[in-house]
Amino acid sequence: ALSEEEKTTLRAGLITNFNEPVNQIATQISVLIAKVARVDCPRQWPELIPTLLESVKVQDDLRQHRALLTFYHVTKTLASKRLAADRKLFYDLASGIYSFACSLWNHHTDTFLQQACAGDEAAATNSLERTLLSLKVLRKLTVHGFVEPHWNVEVMGFLHAVFERLKQFLECSRSIRAENVCRDRLEKTIILFTKVLLDFLDQHPFSFTSLIQRSLEFAVSYVFTGAGEGIVFERFIVQCMNLIKMIVKNYAYKPSKNIEDSSPETLEAHKIKTAFFTYPTLMEICRRLVTHYFLLTKEELTMWEEDPESFTVEETGGDSWKYSLRPCTEVLFIDIFHEYNQTLTPVLLEMVRGLQGSTNVEDTSAILIKDAVYNAVGLAAYELFDSVDFDQWFKNQLLAELQVSHNRYKPIRRRVIWLIGQWISVKFKSDLRPMLYEAIRNLLQDQDLVVNDFEFRTDQFLPYLESMFTLLFQLLQEVTQCDTKMHVLHVLSCVIERVNMQIQPYVGCLVQYLPLLWKQSEEHNMLRCAILTTLIHLVQGLGADSKNLYPFLLPVIQLSTDVSQPPHVYLLEDGLELW
């Protein structure tokens, strides 16, 4: 280990001056200082924070920026320590420097706004960088530096100031062109403001109570009224929706069934929420979500035409709700509808009633509205259980819509089959399923179906088995993307598993194709997992006849269970089951 004398020399050298001209190197030095601070500050390095505070005041632009960059990395690192003694030290640090951090942020923010208004692009860009760094410092101090921040006047003052600053920055963005260098940093700063609110709500829900009203007014105004037109951008809308969602869903704001068991803080927060979410407000949010944010965009429709597989993968992709607008709007709709279903159910049913019968194929906007409303009914399926007679709706309208073959009606055909998939496990009579299988077969024949998982009764499905299996196999051969092949294989596996031995007459083509697909998927272990699952069900369905597959199966099992081969991490469990 280094001697204490050598450590002292190194620490002193690191903060002698902040004049590194190369950005990447300056960042590495700042990170290095922060890592040393994590171990030594404040006990062995008491002079670090005072030195940084003095250095961020200097007039030299380069030194001021580098000191501010280091100040941020040190604050970020110290805020991440979780032991009780370390938390106490950070609380003491936050209390001691919070006033200074606030004044520093206000100074750089005011300077930027003045320079931006004056049209001084170069100076404004420099000031914006300092505004961003000082705001990052304040975010860490505000969220992690206080046990009960609502008792601190400066903390709450800063949080209330965030809303005013956000409005100023959003208005400022009107005058800054999209291609301007400053525009990207400005949007990052706006997003950072919203992160301050989201993080504070997450860490201190009761301290956030006094901000609930203002947060909801701000977010709803910019996202669901005309106030945001021309200035909001997608990531900002996502952040505002996340803020609304976190307030709506927050368990700290939900009273117990026995009101007497609820804390006064919970009751106060619930009262504020209830006062805000009036019938007109909820109705407007619901209508705007469905008829504005749920609509397929021109870009999405073009993507669907040009590359339907990518469109499908994009639409159903992973845990993306926090960062992508479409899944974010759908999650917000689900949460608000669940929380206020008695108020919103009549609103949604009224929208459905306005869409009776098939829609004119020439009226693109009407088709997109219907697609959006059907999407909402599918997302709210469990909430609408007692309010929608889905069987009658299927027989009287949805089935007929699946039979409209015009190319422009494709969004409705796709949405209807998805909608049925949402409702089939909620409320759908089994004797209607043969009609559904017929419709699915027709859609597969037209290559018009985004394949959904579907439940079925084997005896009802057998008359359609040969044609369905053949069409699914053809689809498996035709699609090119790994995700789509996995999805089709999953449906094929479900069919094989359910019909078991009765699959034997129809699997010859699949048995011949799987070795080729296995070879082609050498770089795609998740696809190989799907192939293994299909093989497991095939072996069970073929019984003793599966011996004919041994020349293919045995090398597959060998690779999957060989722990010296990297793919075993993905394939071992399924390989053992196949064995």
Q: Burial level of 291, CB count in 10 A (0-12/13-18/19+)?
A: middle
Q: What value does the mean pLDDT take over residues 269-283?
A: 96
Lowest-pLDDT range of 137-151, 194-208, 450-464 = 450-464
Per-residue pLDDT at 64 exceeds 60: yes
pLDDT score for 132:
96
pLDDT tens readout for residues 29-63: 999 999 999 999 988 999 999 999 999 999 899 99
Please say whether the beta carbons of 203 and 223 come within 8 A.
no
Tell me the C-alpha distance between 545 and 539, whole Å. 8
pLDDT score for 481:
87
pLDDT score for 261:
86
Q: What value does the mean pLDDT take over residues 88-104?
A: 96
pLDDT score for 317:
55
Residues contacting residue 457 through CB under 8 Å, at least 6 positions apart: 430, 433
Please say whether the beta carbons of 149 and 202 come within 8 A.
no
Tell me the C-alpha distance between 304 and 371, whole Å. 15
pLDDT score for 456:
65
Model confidence, pTM? 0.87
| Torsion (CA) 244, 245, 248, 250 in degrees, nearest 10 | -120
Per-residue pLDDT at 539 exceeds 70: yes
Per-residue pLDDT at 22 exceeds 90: yes
Tell me the C-alpha distance between 11 and 48, whole Å. 9
Q: What value does the mean pLDDT take over residues 158-182?
A: 87
Residues contacting residue 107 through CB under 8 Å, at least 6 positions apart: none
Per-residue pLDDT at 449 exceeds 70: no
pLDDT tens readout for residues 551-566: 999 999 999 999 999 9
Classify residue 447 as left (phi > 0), alpha (psi -120 to 50) or beta: left
Please say whether the beta carbons of 234 and 297 come within 8 A.
no
Per-residue pLDDT at 452 exceeds 70: no
Q: Cα 362 to chain center, whole Å?
A: 34
Q: Cα 452 to chain center, whole Å?
A: 22
Tell me the C-alpha distance between 437 and 463, whole Å. 10
Q: Burial level of 276, CB count in 10 A (0-12/13-18/19+)?
A: middle
pLDDT band at 499 (very low <50, low <70, confident <90, very high): confident
Per-residue pLDDT at 228 exceeds 90: no
Per-residue pLDDT at 128 exceeds 90: yes
Per-residue pLDDT at 455 exceeds 70: no
Q: Residue 434: is the preceding peptide bond cis (ω within 30°)?
A: no
Neighbours of 5 (CB within 10 A): 8
Per-residue pLDDT at 7 exceeds 50: yes
Looking up tokens 């923010």 gives 109
Q: What value does the mean pLDDT take over residues 250-277?
A: 93
- The sign one gets for the Cα dihedral 80, 81, 87, 92 is negative
pLDDT band at 453 (very low <50, low <70, confident <90, very high): very low
pLDDT band at 69 (very low <50, low <70, confident <90, very high): very high
pLDDT tens readout for residues 290-346: 999 999 999 989 988 888 888 877 766 544 444 588 899 999 999 999 999 999 999
pLDDT score for 316:
60
pLDDT band at 454 (very low <50, low <70, confident <90, very high): low
Long-range (24+ apart) CB contacts under 8 A made by 401-408 are 401/358, 402/439, 402/442, 402/443, 403/439, 403/442, 404/358, 404/361, 405/446, 406/361, 408/361, 408/362, 408/364, 408/367
DSSP string, 254-294: S--SSGGGS-HHHHHHHHHHHHHS-HHHHHHHHHHIIIIIS
pLDDT score for 392:
95
pLDDT score for 318:
46
pLDDT score for 320:
46
Backbone angles phi, psi at 251, to 5 degrees: -65, -25
Percentage of the chain surpassing pLDDT 70? Answer: 96
